[in-house]
Amino acid sequence: MTATAPHLRAADAALLRVEDLVVEFRAAGRRRVHAVSGVSFDVLPGETLGIVGESGCGKSTTARAVMRVTRPASGSVRFRGAELTRLSERGLRRIRTSMQMIFQDPVSSLNPRRRVRDIVAEPLVVWGRGDAAAREAKVREALAAVGLDYDVVGDRYPHQFSGGQCQRISIARALVLEPELLVCDEPVSALDVSVQAQILNLLEDLKERYGLTLVFISHDLAVVKNVCDRVAVMYLGKVVEVAPADALYRASAHPYTRALLSSIPDPDPDPGPDAAARDAEYGPRGESPSPLDPPSGCRYRTRCPLAQDKCAREVPEPRQLDDGHTVACHFPITTS
């Protein structure tokens, strides 16, 4: 299996290991949406893995398949060595206490008809952990960890809070069971930049404090670069490049990664000749094709300025460039 995914590390070292994950949905007229087509990645304990890509690239579907909210068509998801895809409902229920998720829409994540203290205490109640007093202490601690005061917020309902505060409450709920893995699906995309920075800092603090392992999904490469140790770039259901965060910025090899990098609106009015040149060279053409009917060969070829005949004929296999840096491209860019 390692032949298809050279970026995977020793199986016993990884907390989460996803191999050759395939997720398909049925669409109208017997067609299939190829949402995730053979994705592999792993996360070591204490590491933050970023998954970045544009809408429709399958990053959220991947997250949901990892949590087994969506059933994968094939492939393997191993968490602490346990194969999640073959787990019974009962086993799944137990293992999910160690893996929690936070979502993009902070308002939608909280039941509007329940009080904050009940929302955060819910996981404890479900598992019958502790008596009422012990639970309250635990909820108090989780809320304090995300910067909220139990006595002020406990009795209130979600609609009385801003988006950033709702996201804090969601994080408190996810933490209360003391999970090892936290899957964050676009956790800051719905927030204003100033609030986004608060939540990103909070996640970094909590990661250190509770020894969390994070999978951080975002469309924003700058955000991912900031919080992640390793980054997997997805395009149309495939991982096109995996690299340590700093290497990805310094020496990205896939034309799509270059395109993403050059598209980031930089708050600097004078981007300099380098960026402009990079723009001109790798700027993508048009928009992402439909996952109903992905292009043959390399899925990025229809937008790639470097595409050649080979790209339409052969699917590029991931290959190792450097330590921990792999790319799935026939003609990777080697200049930085």
Partner 1 sequence: MSETIVLTKDVPAAAAAPDDAAAPRRRLGPVFWVAAGWLALIVLAAALADLLPLSRPGDLGDAMPGAGPSAGHLLGTDDLGRDLLSRVIYGARVSLIVGFASIAVGLAVGGVLGLLAGYFRGWVDAVITAAANVLLAFPALVLGLAVVTFLGPSLPHVTLAISLLAIGPLTLMVRGATLMFSEREFVLASRLVGARTHRTVLREVLPNVVPSALSLGLVSVANAMVAEGGLSFLGLSVRPPDPTWGNMIAEGSAVLERTPAVALWPAVAMFLTVLSLNYVGDRLRGRFDVKEGAL
Partner 2 sequence: MTAAEESPLLRVTDLTTHFRTDRGLMRAVDGVSFTLERGRTLGVVGESGSGKTVLSRSVMGLLPRGDVVRGGTVQYAGEDISALDEDGLRRLWGREIAMVFQDPMTSLNPVVRIGRQITEHLRLHTGASRADARAKAAALLKSVGIPEPERRLREYPHQLSGGMRQRVMIAVALATGPRLLLADEPTTALDVTVQAQILDLLRAQQRQRDMAMILVTHDLGVVAGRTDEVAVMYAGRVVERAPTRTLFTNMRMPYTEALVRSIPRIADPGHTRLAAIPGRPPDMTRPPAGCRFAPRCAYARDKCRAEQPPLRESGEPGHTFACWYPVGTPEGAAALERNRKEAS
Instruction: Report d(CA 202, CA 204) in Å as an integer.
Output: 5
Residue 170 engages partner 1 in binding (rule: CB under 8 A): yes
Residue 295 engages partner 2 in binding (rule: CB under 8 A): no
Segment 176-195, which members bind partner 2 (CB under 8 A)? Answer: 192-195
Nearer to partner 2, 28 or 193 (CB): 193
Instruction: Report d(CA 82, CA 95) in Å as an integer.
Output: 9
**Greatest CA separation for the chain:** 68
Angle (deg, nearest 10), helices 132-145 and 163-175: 130
Residue 181 engages partner 1 in binding (rule: CB under 8 A): no
Is the Cα dihedral 30, 33, 34, 35 positive or negative? Answer: negative
94 binds, among partner 1, partner 2, none (CB under 5 to 8 A by kind): partner 1
**Considering only 77-85, 109-117, 234-242, 314-322, which stretch makes contact with partner 1 by CB under 8 A?**
109-117
Residue 160 engages partner 1 in binding (rule: CB under 8 A): yes
Instruction: Report d(CA 242, CA 325) in Å as an integer.
Output: 6
Report in angstroms how near the CB of residue 282 gets to partner 1 at its nearest: 36
263 binds, among partner 2, partner 1, none (CB under 5 to 8 A by kind): partner 2
> What is the total count of residues that contact partner 2 (CB under 8 A)?
47
Among 152, 264, 276, 292, binds partner 1 (CB under 8 A): 152
Nearest to 216 by CA among 237, 196, 192, 194: 196
Report in angstroms how near the CB of residue 180 gets to partner 1 at its nearest: 14
Residue 220 engages partner 2 in binding (rule: CB under 8 A): yes
Report in angstroms how near the CB of residue 170 gets to partner 1 at its nearest: 7
Nearer to partner 2, 200 or 251 (CB): 200
Nearer to partner 2, 192 or 317 (CB): 192
Residue 266 engages partner 2 in binding (rule: CB under 8 A): yes
Segment 49-78, which members bind partner 2 (CB under 8 A)? Answer: 54-55
Report in angstroms how near the CB of residue 232 gets to partner 1 at its nearest: 22
Nearer to partner 2, 67 or 248 (CB): 248
Nearer to partner 2, 17 or 258 (CB): 258
Nearer to partner 1, 145 or 224 (CB): 145
What is the residue whose two structure tokens read 């598209």? Answer: 263
Residue 156 engages partner 1 in binding (rule: CB under 8 A): yes
Residue 191 engages partner 1 in binding (rule: CB under 8 A): no
Segment 54-93, which members bind partner 1 (CB under 8 A)? Answer: 67, 69, 93
Residue 314 engages partner 1 in binding (rule: CB under 8 A): no
Positions that interact with partner 1 (CB under 8 A): 67, 69, 93-94, 96-97, 100-101, 103, 105, 107-114, 119, 122-123, 126-127, 145, 147-149, 152-153, 156, 158-166, 170, 173, 177, 198, 201-202, 205, 208-209
